[in-house]
Structure 1
Amino acid sequence: MSPPAPTTNSNNGVPLFQPGAIDTYFQSHNSFDYNPTSTTSVLKTFKRLAINQGWDEERRRQEKGKFQKAIDVEFTDRVGSGFLLEDWQRLGKVIGIEPLPGSITQCKKMIKKENINIYHILHAYRRATEVENVEDVEACKDVRRFKTVAELRKYTQNHKMYYQKEFAKGSVLKGLLKHLR
């Protein structure tokens, strides 16, 4: 996905949201009423879709796999492939890391230390504003940073916000995963 070219002062930014792979997944179910927006909770929408379609547990599990593959594609499209320092620094800024490391390796190390639910990051990027300079990116207030993996685990279990490792193909997404079960 190519972000729109900024049309205003780079400090103000422009809305970035464009429908992505997750939205395409939801729209592929013809009898499901879905309109892509930047504020839609993708997990709540998946649950609504499962109810709407009347899926049994086996079908729901199969569809969850397709849904998580779409998340991987969209995460990589929005966050980056992991090959550019700017992508890692932008992610660091979005989740609130200061000061920003100057290398990909150092960014990875700093980000790996964070205990953040992947869905929070995805939602932050779906609501993001595009700015030209990484320095102008602001930390997203909706990205909750947990002090420990145990706190993240409890939150993830309580809200059923798991992402299965086998569906993570993008290097940035893989770098954020923690063992929570």
Structure 2
Amino acid sequence: MSSTRTALSSGNWTFLSSFSDFVPDANVSDVVNFGRLACQRGWRLNSRGWRSRWRTCFHREYIPEHNPYADPHFDFFMSFPGFRTEESCAVGDEFARLAQFMKWMPGTHEYNVYRSQAFRSAFTVHYGADASKLDVWQTLCMEVGIQPAPSSITKCKKALKRVHVNIVDLVNCRRSGSTVQRFHSYNELKRYTCERGKGRVFPRELAKEEGFIKALLKAFLHPE
């Protein structure tokens, strides 16, 4: 991820500064600043609009290796001036606070777009974006109680298909350091996940994006 740590250039700064409601942070890279701006404007990662604006800013094509949400210096909730974050707060609860602060109404397109951004950022910060790293899969396996961890990515994926955990809870537990709850069956997990008003459904649209999220959702959402 060295590409995300480049210094701000005058050309990039010109693009980032062209938005009157956005103030670039000189203490982080231009890529992280682009990610902060994208969060504020609701640009979906790797969408046509995202790629077009990326080209305008950086004068090159976007590639997944440049994903700003994978940079450890990126914080979705710090992207909104005036909002005070609580680092120990669950992602869903933190987003609910942010939505109230920004006056995003639940169920609206704006609310759903930003909720996806929040979970994408939190997931990437805690798990990364590269689905080809065995150590990440092994850490995840141990996190959900699979020990010893399998010796290959294929075996990890197969083992995860037999584990029933809520992915929103998984991200929240990684953030808080607590242990994620396991369910005895897929149907039990489904009832828990779909309970109205609890905010336990992970944004399904993230499964369309290449990377670790897609691979993990495929493993969890298609159990054996």
| Distance in structure 2 (CA, Å) of the matches to 1:103 and 1:124 | 24
Kindly provide the amino acid, as one letter, of the partner of residue 206 in structure 2. Answer: F
For 1:116, which of 159, 162, 165 is the aligned residue?
165
The structure whose Rg is larger is 2
| CA-CA distance at 1:144 after TM superposition | 0.6
Once the two structures are superposed, residues 55-107 of structure 1 have per-residue CA deviations (whole angstroms, 9 ceiling, x without a partner) of 3356x432332331342243234224221211111110111012321111010
| CA-CA distance at 1:122 after TM superposition | 1.2
How many residues align? The count is: 147
Q: How does 1:20-31 map to 2 (within 5 A)?
A: 21=74, 24-31=75-82
Corresponding position: 1:48 with 2:87: no
| Distance in structure 1 (CA, Å) of the matches to 2:101 and 2:94 | 10
Change (3 A) 1:67 1:55: closer
Give the structure 1 partner of residue 203 of structure 2: 164
For 2:134, which of 85, 95, 101 is the aligned residue?
85
Corresponding position: 1:153 with 2:190: yes
RCO greater where, 1 or 2, for CA within 8 Å and sep 6 or more? 1
| CA-CA distance at 1:177 after TM superposition | 4.3
Cα RMSD after superposing both structures: 2.8
Give the structure 2 partner of residue 69 of structure 1: 117
Aligned partners of 1:85 and 1:103 also within 8 Å: yes
Kindly provide the amino acid, as one letter, of the partner of residue 142 in structure 2. Answer: K
| Distance in structure 2 (CA, Å) of the matches to 1:70 and 1:160 | 13
Change (3 A) 1:177 1:110: closer
Change (3 A) 1:65 1:86: same
Corresponding position: 1:173 with 2:216: yes
Aligned partners of 1:85 and 1:104 also within 8 Å: yes
| Distance in structure 1 (CA, Å) of the matches to 2:96 and 2:133 | 34
Kindly provide the amino acid, as one letter, of the partner of residue 173 in structure 1. Answer: L
TM-score by length of 2: 0.56
| Distance in structure 1 (CA, Å) of the matches to 2:150 and 2:219 | 17
TM-score by length of 1: 0.67
Aligned-partner SS, 1:113: coil
Once the two structures are superposed, residues 103-122 of structure 1 have per-residue CA deviations (whole angstroms, 9 ceiling, x without a partner) of 11010110122111112221
List alignment gaps of at least 5 residues for structure 2: 3-70
| CA-CA distance at 1:145 after TM superposition | 0.8
| Distance in structure 2 (CA, Å) of the matches to 1:118 and 1:20 | 23
Change (3 A) 1:19 1:46: farther
